[in-house]
């Protein structure tokens, strides 16, 4: 059970494995996409290719 008694801090499994949360979530997403039925797989892979554009604010 993930419940903790006595106030002790519990470390997440992904952290114990030496992963960042971002890497952990990427692995989970890959596993879910790989498990999809073929008719849903193509759409999921297209969505996985979405990109994020970051813009650094200009100093005034």
Region at 26 (left for phi over 0; alpha for psi -120 to 50; beta for the rest): alpha
pLDDT attached to residue 2: 52
pTM equals 0.55
Residue 3 token pair: 């419940």
Here the contacts of 39-46 (C-beta below 8 Å, separation 24 or greater) are none
Domain boundaries, the chain: 20-48
d(CA 20, CA 22): 5
Q: What's the average pLDDT block by block, 10 residues per block, for the chain (60 residues)?
A: 53 88 90 88 79 78
Helix axes 38-48, 21-35, angle to 10 degrees: 150
């Amino acid at each position: 059970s993930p419940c903790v008694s006595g106030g002790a801090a519990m470390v997440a499994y992904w952290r114990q494995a030496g992963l960042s949360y971002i890497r952990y979530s990427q692995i989970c997403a890959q596993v879910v996409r790989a498990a999809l039925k073929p008719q849903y797989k193509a759409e999921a892979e297209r969505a996985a290719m979405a990109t994020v554009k970051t813009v650094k604010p200009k100093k005034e």
